[in-house]
Amino acid sequence: MALRMSRRPAVLALLLSVTTAGCGGGGTQGGGSGDDGKLTVWLAVDARESWPELVDSVNERFAEKHPGVEVDIQYQQWTTKNQKLDAVLAGRGVPDVVEMGNSETTNYIINGAFAPLDPAGFEQSDQWLPALSDACESEGRTYCVPYYAGARVGVYRTDYFTEAGIDEAPGSYPELISALDRLKDSLGADNPNFSALYLPGRYWSAAMGFVKDAGGEMAVKDGDRWKGALSEPASVAGLTTWKGLIDTYYRGDRAKDNGDQPAVVGQGRVGVFYGNTWEAEAAADSRSGGDPKLKGKFATFAFPGPSGKLLPPFLGGSTLAVPAKSTQRELASEWIRLFTDRQSQQQLIEANTLPNNTDQLADVAAGGINGPAAQAATRGWVTPLAPGWTSVEKSNILPEMLERIATGKASVQEATREADERIDEVINER
C-alpha cells in the first residue's frame, strides 16, 4: 500500500455550485449515475490485485438486496485517478462511488464535490481510525467512509541480527539504538556502503514521524487560517533527532527519497529500514528490483520513538465517497456500507491489510507480518487537513527542506524557518 499523495484538483472551483443531486446524464465514459439500475464504482487497482474476492462477495451481497441493479466496478490507477475524476465532476456522467486516499479528500470536500453521509449508517463508525475519519469530516459533517489503512513499521534482516548478536527485535528506543550500534560495528566496519538504518533524506513521512513523536506539527490552525509549525521548538527537536540518526547510521545518497526502497534494500547493504510491510516482500522480489535469495530473511517490529512510545506513523489509507452529482446516492451508500462492514474488514485483514477501525485491529495476528503495523496504527496521523496542503505537497516543500538538512546545506532551524514561510504562502489556498 503506497502513500496516497494529494494532487490539487484543477477544476474544483467549478464544483462550488454542485452540492445537490439531480443532475441527470450518464452514458459518458466513467459515468453511470444517470443510468437506471446501474451503480458505477471507482476503486483503485489495489482491490483488483490484492482482494478481488472481497469485491466479488460484496457485489453478491448487494445483488441479493438489489437484484435489478448492475454494479460496474472500474479500476483506477493512483497516478491518473484524480485527473479523471476532476474531468467527470465537471460534467454529468459521474461515478457513484469513488475511492480516495485519505490525504486527498480535503479540497474535494470543501469545494462541495462529495455528498454528506450519516456515519450512524455504517458499522463501527464510532471506532474508525482517526487518521481516516478526520480526513472525511468538515464542519461537523461526514463526507466519506474509511476503507482500509496501512502503517509503517521497522523491517529488519533476521540473518544480520543473528550475525550481530542481536537476539530479538527492539522493543524500546534504547534497544533500537543498541541494535543499530551492533549492526554498524559488526557489518559496517568493513563495508562503507552498509547502512545500519536506511533513512534517505527526502523520506518526508519518516522524518515527520519524529516531529510528531516530539510533540511537533507540520502546520497548525490559528483562528480561521493555517500556518506552518515546523520551526516551533518541538518540531525542531524531532528533526534534530532524525538528523542524528542519519548522520550516525545511514550511508547513502541523502538527496533521494524512499521511492526505490525495496530495490535498495534488496542489494543486501541494509540492516533495518522503516517502511510498509509489503516492502519486506518486495525486497525479495525481482519484479521490484529485489533479490529472491532474501526471501524469508525479513521480519517486522513496531518502530519505537525517542518519546518512549511507538513512533507515530503516517497512516496511509483509503476512504470511499459519493459524488454530490450522483443520482444513486442511497444505493451508493448501501454498497459502501457492505464494502466497509465488519465482515468485509475481516476479509481485508485476511489479505494482510489493516482494517478501518480500532476494534478489529485486535484481530490482526500479533505474530504475523502485519501485527506490528496494527500496533503502530493506533498512533497514526495524516497530513494537515488544510485547504492548501495539496499545494504544499505539489511544491515539494517538505522533501526540499529535509534534503537541505540532511546534506548539511542548512541547519534545522534555518531550513524549518524557510519551509514555514513557503507553507504560509500556499496553505490557505482553496
Residue range(s) defining the domain that contains residue 265: 153-313+385-426
Calculate mean pLDDT across residues 286-300. Answer: 95
* Predicted confidence band of residue 20 (pLDDT cuts 50, 70, 90): very low
User: What is the Cα–Cα distance from 12 to 76, expressed in whole angstroms?
Assistant: 20
User: What is the Cα–Cα distance from 368 to 388, expressed in whole angstroms?
Assistant: 38
Q: What is the pLDDT of residue 35?
A: 40
Calculate mean pLDDT across residues 388-396. Answer: 94
Q: What is the pLDDT of residue 430?
A: 82
Q: How many structural domains compose the chain? A: 2
- Answer yes or no: is 87 within a domain: yes
User: What is the Cα–Cα distance from 334 to 16, expressed in whole angstroms?
Assistant: 26
Check whether 2 has a pLDDT greater than 60: no
Check whether 9 has a pLDDT greater than 60: no
Same domain, 282 and 411: yes
Closest CA to 4 of 127, 108, 89, 128: 108
Same domain, 110 and 47: yes
User: What is the Cα–Cα distance from 128 to 125, expressed in whole angstroms?
Assistant: 5
Same domain, 291 and 249: yes
Residue 167: CB atoms within 10 Å? 7
Check whether 54 has a pLDDT greater than 50: yes
* DSSP calls for 386-406: -TTHHHHHHTTHHHHHHHHHH
- Answer yes or no: is 6 within a domain: no
Q: Which three cell numbers stand for residue 82?
A: 484524480
Domain containing residue 131: CATH number: 3.40.190.10
Residues near 350 by Cβ (< 8 Å), separated by ≥ 6? none
Q: Which three cell numbers stand for residue 409?
A: 546545506
User: What is the Cα–Cα distance from 381 to 113, expressed in whole angstroms?
Assistant: 24
User: What is the Cα–Cα distance from 415 to 419, expressed in whole angstroms?
Assistant: 6
Helix then strand then coil, % of the chain, to nearest 5: 40, 15, 40
Same domain, 303 and 366: no
* DSSP calls for 79-108: HHHHHHHHHHHTSS---SEEEEETTSHHHH
Query: How high is the mean pLDDT of the chain?
Result: 91
Same domain, 267 and 344: no
Q: Which three cell numbers stand for residue 86?
A: 476532476
* Predicted confidence band of residue 36 (pLDDT cuts 50, 70, 90): low
Check whether 233 has a pLDDT greater than 90: yes
pLDDT per residue over 137-188, tens digit each? 999 999 999 999 999 999 999 999 999 999 999 999 999 999 999 999 999 9
Check whether 7 has a pLDDT greater than 70: no
Query: End-to-end distance of the chain based on CA atoms, in angstroms?
Result: 28
* Predicted confidence band of residue 369 (pLDDT cuts 50, 70, 90): confident
Same domain, 53 and 159: no
Q: What is the pLDDT of residue 362?
A: 95
Q: What is the pLDDT of residue 37?
A: 86
What does DSSP say about strands 270-275 and 153-157: parallel, antiparallel, or unpaired?
A: antiparallel
Calculate mean pLDDT across residues 111-117. Answer: 96
